[in-house]
A and B are shown apart, each in its own frame.
Chain A
Amino acid sequence: MASSGSGYDLSSSTFSPDGRIFQIEYAAKAVENAGTALGLRCADGVVLAVEKPLVNRMLVARTTGGYTRSTSTRASRSRVSSATAGRSLTGRGRRRAITRRHHGTKIPPATLSSRISAYVHYFTLHGALRPFGASTLVAAYDTGTKRHSLHMIEPSGVCYEYYGAAAGRGRQPARTEMEKLVVNPSRVPEGGEMISVSEGVRQLAKIIHSLHDDAKDKPFELEMSWLCEGSGWKHEGVPREIIAGAVEWAKKEIENEGENDEEGDDDEDDEMEE
């Protein structure tokens, strides 16, 4: 990595000959190496889940600071990676949301997200600035349209709306898992229905746990929050007992699947033989 830019990676104001800006890619790399963060837009709300690795076995759990924060009562965001970068960003988002509160209404989710994205993007344009090594998930409720949404802003400043979003180390397998869930309203199978937040909590807990290798990876805390009909469309932490229940269910499920997979493999073998 150190020499990969061969001199073209010293500033975010320099393009490499093949048209890349290495500083932004390095920032993205910082996110890719961080704990996983997931967001899921369900039928009745949005769930956020963050894997907070305990970087040192001697760290006291629950003192590492929240990765998920409220920007106003009806919007929240999770971040991945560089704690300082993330803090600076959430502060910015909060100030934006609060400015807007002075206009008498809540800032629309897409506007909040695009403001944050414009800010993040600005940091990729100047030689004197360093891009943010953080991705931001924005879960928000729109009081005007009565709709809820999930956005993600990446270090490059790109910002899209998602049904399910993932960032951090486990993002690829997590996306694959989330695609199996019914979160896209236009692709609800006949007779089926969209996933609810309470089911979303369990599924996200399962994904985070299944991606975690207890033997290899550092221990982690699971932080989950939601913004849903049940919470009065306010952003709040998922009650601890619900998280505990979800984790218990997830672990059992993972165990069962492990067994089934073995059986499944056998079946496949049988079929092969035929």
Chain B
Amino acid sequence: MSHQYTADYDAYAGKSAETRHLKPGELSTGTTIMAVQFDGGVVLCADSRVSTGSYVANRASDKIAQLHDHIWCCRSGSAADTQALTDYVRHFLSQLAVETGRLPEVKVAAHLMRRLCYQNKDNLMAGVIVGGWDPVCGGTVYNIPVGGACIPMPFALGGSGSTYIYGLVDAEYRENMTKDEALALVRKAVAHAMARDGSSGGIIRTLVATEEGNVRDYVSGNMLPYGPAGW
């Protein structure tokens, strides 16, 4: 038994610091994600790289997942964990919408996500941004980092790439931005993160959620506002 333990431990220690927290073979969306509120809605944005260690498992993934008609989330952390979480929240939200006969609030989606993340914090690796539009509060963004806190914010950043662009976003963000300004900001910021974070890359996907509906767009990997190359 002790022999086996040691053998396993050796196999485990062979992993790099980057992948040590993952289960064997688990994929991780080492990521840059972002969401910005504007008058009447939110903009969500994500890169498209999914990696295992330093291998790019998927270079055009979609990390923006729909939770309800006007409510979306950006996923970061373990791909498996965040997929399971979004599936649960989607399920509960649709039940709730049927029961109450009205559109669910973004707040409710965020609280459901928070509860799942908090109560299972020992077994999850998930940092999620929930954003969307609802008839009560309009455009709303909640950040739910690893550990399951839940914090409403005018804009949110997440994923490994976010650390490289806090300064940029702090400098460029203003209150009461228009939809187009918000879109330009998230594209620029995420492009810069992708240029410096090895675990972020590929294309930029954006989503605008408003009362009128959801508009998807993407910036191809060779048409980015900045990078991947640079100084």
Contacts and interface: CB of A to CB of B under 8 A. Distances in A.
Interface of A: 102-105, 108, 110-111, 143-145
B197 to A, nearest CB: 32
Contacts, number: 27
Contacts of B96: 103
B10 interface: no
B135 interface: yes
Contact of B107 (A105, A108, A111, A145): A105
A103 B97 CA distance: 13
B104 to A, nearest CB: 9
B110 A144 contact: no
Interface in B59-117: 96, 99-102, 105, 107-108, 110-112, 115
A145 B112 CA distance: 21
Contacts of A144: 102, 105, 135-136
Interface of B: 96, 99-102, 105, 107-108, 110-112, 115, 135-136
A103 B111 contact: yes
Contacts of B111: 102-105
A110 B99 CA distance: 9
Nearest to B106: A104
Q: Which of A104, A108, A110 has the most CB of B within 10 A?
A: A104
Given A104-B110, A110-B100, A111-B99, 14 more contacts: A102-B111, A102-B115, A103-B96, A103-B108, A103-B112, A104-B107, A104-B108, A104-B111, A105-B105, A105-B111, A110-B101, A143-B136, A144-B102, A144-B105
Contacts of B99: 111
